A = this chain, B = another copy of it.
């Protein structure tokens, strides 16, 4: 076993979009597990938009990462030392390892993985993003056959599963994605009924026209991953009694993007159209995770669900991959494979 481990620390709090200088690669002595703890050698790390919120001082959904603290995140890896009866050396596990080559994790925070599925599925389609899509659509989207769903960031790990679940439930599904390549993915790989390239539409009005053409009966569920231009485009297309699960507002991580006050129109639309707008964060819903795994694991194993991963190489490249992901530079679930 190496005597040193590596980790990515929060070097300073970003303003808007993070930059490489906000992160620092550090070495530290290899930690030893205490009683009831397990030492994991991380093989794959998940990068997710929620981590941007954790870099802020406060006010986001969960505890901030401390300055010089290790960036939070889920990883998969092998147990290399265990002081808990439930885990043995060599077990394939997942848990909140952080952005690090190794991590000591309490046994109750780890889950053994089924060796028959690719281990990265535990970070994507069967991990937090997949569970987010499944929970949010069921609890806050409340899909009904014959309705229309629109989702932005549609080729991302959440959006792509939202689309597939909605389609399977009998909805018309409209993808909004950035660039022709992602639109092709949305249609061909993820089975959306239509895909719209928001980059090809200058301004919210042009985007709205493009979406309207593919949603002739209006939109019943707008799955909110982005905010920004897409929200502005979609809002007038919402049907009465529509639902908007708010899962992310990635377009606004860097601050506001508009000049006029869009709040009155949106707020009034919520009233006039009797919309149900619900913010949700998957960390509140872990009770339902076993039911999700029970339903979705066989569907993934059977190849009924498509998913896509974008794998960066090496812990040292995690910050660049993360920054790129926040501006849509990834294609599919962003993962870092550790050396």
Contact = CB atoms under 8 A, between A and B. Distances in A.
Interface of A: 53, 59-61, 224, 227-228, 231, 246-249, 252, 255-281, 284
Contacts of A228: 264
**In the complex this chain forms, how many copies of it are found?**
2
Contacts of A284: 274
7 contacts: A227-B263, A248-B271, A249-B267, A258-B264, A263-B266, A270-B279, A271-B281
Contact of A275 (B231, B247, B278): B278
Nearest to A254: B264
Given A261-B259, A276-B276, A268 B61 contact: no
A149 to B, nearest CB: 19
A222 B64 CA distance: 27
B272 A277 contact: no
B264 A256 contact: yes
A265 B279 CA distance: 13
A280 B274 contact: yes
B279 A252 contact: no
Contact of A270 (B264, B274, B277): B277
Which residue, of A248, A259, A278, A284, has the highest number of chain B Cβ atoms within 10 A?
A: A278
B264 A261 contact: no
Contact of A268 (B252, B259, B264, B271): B252
A264 B252 contact: yes
A233 to B, nearest CB: 13
A264 B255 contact: yes
A263 B274 contact: no
A170 B228 CA distance: 39
Given A60-B272, A260-B261, A261-B260, A231 B267 contact: yes
Contacts of A53: 272
Contacts of A261: 256-263
Contacts of A270: 246, 277-279
A231 B267 CA distance: 10
A298 to B, nearest CB: 30
B275 A249 contact: no
A246 B267 CA distance: 8
A263 B258 contact: yes
Given A261-B263, A273-B279, A276-B278, 14 more contacts: A61-B271, A227-B268, A231-B267, A246-B267, A246-B270, A252-B267, A252-B268, A256-B263, A260-B261, A263-B263, A270-B278, A271-B281, A276-B276, A277-B278
Contacts of A267: 224, 227, 231, 246, 249, 252, 266
A260 B271 contact: no
A49 B227 CA distance: 30
B248 A256 contact: no
B252 A260 contact: no
A234 B246 CA distance: 20
Nearest to A231: B267
A276 B255 CA distance: 23
A247 B257 CA distance: 28
